[in-house]
Structures are given as structure tokens and as C-alpha cells.
């Protein structure tokens, strides 16, 4: 799921690709989308994007011209419109030619050029949404990246809220206080601070200051400190920094934004730098269990006292399989091929070992069947349609006894006739 850094990179992508591009005509929505229509039509307008936490806002601004009155009469927009996007599980923007429209393009903005290019909101799973004439959602808190001071104050002034009775890993997903934090960010932040994910959020946060001391600290010019005082200050500073979870909620997402590589480019996605940056999330050797909301939490060490009692860690095989999917080196492929060949050999051996007694059993059944058919020809013929059970030993004994009794009765008749 896209988190704060991804949405900010998406806004930067839109601004970079749409810089100097003039768009025209109506905004087109796909037939399958359940999001609202965008009632905006203009001969010439520009697009600019901004982000806040887990939301992106596109601003459509009509270009000024001399015939504004005629444009209004023609039903065309003369005022800017804001469209607020939420990406859901798989949303992102692409900028392509009209002939190369993505399959799951659900909202399209067409450029005024030849060949025409299209800015598309793409969402394969359709959990994303947009709101024309929208605003930032009021129940979302300040942005963790670009409204750090307000974000910090919002958390520290509301620690009595019931949201902080929950484990810290679950509180971090509450967008009312941590707007922009998602699954991989919470794992990386807690791992760096060595905080068990299932400890009460309030106990982790209540010792922090409302104002970040590191941000507000400004040394006075010409200030002289002796070595002892300087060492004490440095130690205190390091201690506060390593324990300040709110600061890492601000700095860790910015690390993702500032990663090298191609950044956010859906057409040529290169996530090698991001995968190398991860220290905990989907990393070999880490543990994972589902939290009370069913979301997978990655961590190291003890999960904490508030971990779900019935939670089960995924099996090692499943976890290694996921790690193999993220690795494309030749070594793992060769090792995987060898292991698969060994498994096949073992299966073949087991199958050949079990086939021998089966053949003997089949031979025995054929032999007993031929005997039974021979006895049936000598005596009575018995019809045994398919699907009925084969005669048991007890029934065979009964038929033999009946045959012997019949012979005895016939011999008695012969003796009676001879005596007469």
C-alpha cells in the first residue's frame, strides 16, 4: 500500500511531467469506476499537485484569456478545481501517449498537443478514490513529513485519547495522529528504536517533549563550553535522539523520499535502492505476526505483552519463499534448482518403492478372481455387477456348505430309488 513518501513522490512526478503542458477538454472517468464524475471542462488549463500525508491534491487551473465571458456561457470552467486523491492499495499516476493508455486507467486528463498525451490515475484493485472540489480529510492529522511541529503537538496533546491504549504498532497506523505512516514505515521505525511492537503506545510516548529539543536548539555565537559540560550535553542529546519515536516518524519517511535511483516512475520502476534501504520489513531473519487488525507486523526479538494470544508467526518456508521472490541473483536460482531436483529424486524413489507391493497385490487379486470364476462355472453362475462389493470369505464358505448339502440330498434320492 502506498504510504506518505510514495504519495509525495507521486505529486513530484505529476509536477515534473506536467510542467509546461497545457491540458484541454473534459476530464474522462472510466465506466467501471464507482468514484464520482469530475464536472470540469476547459479549452486550456494546467495541472499542479501537492501532497499531505496519505492524500494527493491535483489543482486544475484554467488559463486566462480574453474571452472569459464566452467560456462561462459555453459551460467551461473559469475557476480552479481541486481533486483530492487517496491511493488505496495500488493507486498511482502515469503520463503516456493516448495510444498507450494503461489498462486500469480510471481518470484521464488529455493534453492539448499532437500526438495527445494523457495523465492517468491508475488503480488495478480499485480501492483508491478521488473527490472533486475536495479538501484534505478533516479527521486526518498533520503530515508527518511537512507539518512536523503540528504533528508532534497533535500527538502529545492527545495522549489521553483511547487510541493510545492500544499497542504502539497499531497506534502508528491511526491516521488521525500519524498521517502518512503505513505498514513498512512502522516496522522500520520501531526496529531502529528497538521498541517491541506490542507495548502500550502511551508508555512509549508519554516521556517525550511536546517540542523537539533538537529542532529548537540553536547554539549562541561565541559560547564556550568546557569539555565536561560538552560531553554531558552530547550524551543527553544522543539519549533523547535514540528514544524519540516522533522524530523518527518524521525523518525515516524523508529518507525514502531522498533515496537515490529513479524514484517514483511507474513506467520504469526500479526499487533496488528501496529494498537495500529496508532493515526490517520483509528482511530475512525478522519475525512477523498479525496484529489485532489483521495487518502483518515485522519485528525482531520479543513482540511485547500486548501481542495477540492466538497470533501465529508465518512458517519459515513461507517467509523464505517471499524473500526468494525479491531476489534475482543466480546463486539462489541454482540452489533452488538443485533442491527441486533432489525433491523430485526422493519422490521418484518413494513411488518406485511403493509400486512393487501394489503389483503383488494386483496379481493376488487376479489369481483369486480367476479361481472364483472357475468355481462359478462349475456350480451356479453368479452375476456381480460393477459397484457391488466382492464376496467375503464368510460368503464363500456358505456357498461351499450349500453345495455339499445339495450333493448329499441327491445321493439320498439315488439310494431310495435303488432300494425300491
Of the residues 2, 5, 142, 303, which is catalytic? 2
Could you tell me the maximum CA-CA distance found in the chain, to the nearest angstrom?
A: 151
In the annotation, is 303 catalytic?
no
Contacts 24+ apart (CB under 8 A), 50-53: 50/11, 51/4, 51/7, 51/8, 51/10, 51/11, 51/143, 52/136, 52/140, 52/143, 52/146, 52/147, 52/179, 53/4, 53/7, 53/140, 53/141, 53/142, 53/143, 53/144, 53/175, 53/179, 53/180
In the annotation, is 196 catalytic?
no
Give per-residue burial for 202-221: e unless 16+ CB within 10 Å, then b.
bebbeebeeebeeeeeeeee
**Cβ neighbours around 338 below 10 Å, total:** 10
Beta bridge partners, 47, equal 60
- Residue 117 per-residue DSSP state: E
Do you know the residue count of the chain?
Answer: 420
Rounded Cα gap, residues 1 and 124, in angstroms: 12
Q: Cβ(169)–Cβ(137) under 8 Å? A: no
Q: Cβ(106)–Cβ(122) under 8 Å? A: yes
C-alpha cell at 267: 513506467
Of the residues 6, 26, 36, 54, which is catalytic? 54
In the annotation, is 2 catalytic?
yes
**CB-count exposure of residue 7 (10 Å: 0-12, 13-18, 19+):** buried
C-alpha cell at 326: 525479491
Decide: helix, strand or coil at residue 7: helix
Rounded Cα gap, residues 281 and 62, in angstroms: 44
Contacts of 150 (CB under 8 A, 6+ apart): 142
- Active-site positions read 2-3, 54
Amino acid at each position: 500500500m502506498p504510504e506518505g513518501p510514495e504519495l509525495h513522490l507521486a505529486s513530484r512526478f505529476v509536477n515534473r511531467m506536467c510542467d509546461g503542458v497545457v491540458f484541454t477538454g473534459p476530464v474522462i472517468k472510466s465506466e467501471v469506476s464507482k468514484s464520482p464524475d469530475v464536472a470540469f471542462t476547459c479549452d486550456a488549463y494546467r495541472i499542479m499537485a501537492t501532497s499531505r500525508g496519505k492524500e494527493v491534491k491535483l489543482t486544475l487551473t484554467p488559463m486566462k484569456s480574453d474571452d472569459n465571458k464566452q467560456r462561462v456561457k459555453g459551460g467551461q470552467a473559469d475557476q480552479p478545481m481541486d481533486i483530492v486523491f487517496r491511493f488505496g492499495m495500488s493507486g498511482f499516476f502515469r503520463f503516456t501517449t493516448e495510444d498507450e493508455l494503461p489498462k486500469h486507467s480510471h481518470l484521464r486528463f488529455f493534453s492539448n498537443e499532437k500526438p495527445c498525451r494523457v495523465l492517468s490515475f491508475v488503480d488495478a484493485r480499485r480501492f483508491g478514490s478521488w473527490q472533486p472540489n475536495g479538501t484534505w480529510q478533516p479527521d486526518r492529522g498533520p503530515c508527518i513529513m511537512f507539518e512536523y511541529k503540528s504533528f508532534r503537538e497533535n500527538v502529545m496533546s492527545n495522549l489521553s485519547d483511547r487510541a493510545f491504549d492500544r499497542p504502539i504498532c497499531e497506534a502508528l497506523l491511526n491516521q488521525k495522529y500519524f498521517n502518512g505512516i503505513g505498514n513498512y514505515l512502522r516496522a522500520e521505525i520501531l526496529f531502529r528504536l528497538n521498541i517491541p511492537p506490542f507495548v502500550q503506545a502511551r508508555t512509549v510516548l508519554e516521556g517525550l517533549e511536546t517540542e523537539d529539543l533538537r529542532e529548537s536548539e540553536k547554539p549562541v555565537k561565541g559560547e564556550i563550553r568546557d569539555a565536561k559540560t560538552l560531553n554531558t550535553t552530547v550524551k543527553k542529546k544522543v539519549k533523547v535522539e535514540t528514544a524519540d519515536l516522533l522524530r523518527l516518524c518524521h525523518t525515516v519517511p524523508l529518507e525514502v523520499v531522498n533515496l537515490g535511483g529513479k524514484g517514483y516512475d511507474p513506467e520504469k520502476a526500479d526499487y533496488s535502492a528501496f529494498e537495500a534501504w529496508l532493515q526490517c520489513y520483509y528482511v530475512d531473519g525478522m519475525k512477523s505476526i498479525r496484529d489485532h487488525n489483521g495487518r502483518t507486523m515485522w519485528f525482531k526479538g520479543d513482540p511485547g505483552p500486548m501481542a495477540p494470544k492466538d497470533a501465529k508467526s508465518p512458517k519459515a518456508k513461507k517467509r523464505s519463499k517471499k524473500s526468494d521472490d525479491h531476489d534475482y541473483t543466480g546463486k539462489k536460482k541454482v540452489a533452488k534448482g538443485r533442491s527441486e531436483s533432489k525433491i523430485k529424486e526422493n519422490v521418484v524413489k518413494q513411488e518406485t518403492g511403493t509400486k512393487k507391493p501394489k503389483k503383488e497385490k494386483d496379481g493376488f487379486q487376479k489369481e483369486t478372481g480367476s479361481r472364483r470364476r472357475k468355481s462359478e462355472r462349475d456350480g451356479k453362475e453368479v452375476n456381480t455387477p460393477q459397484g457391488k462389493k466382492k464376496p467375503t470369505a464368510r460368503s464363500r464358505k456358505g456357498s461351499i456348505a450349500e453345495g455339499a448339502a445339495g450333493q448329499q440330498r441327491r445321493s439320498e434320492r439315488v439310494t431310495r430309488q435303488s432300494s425300491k
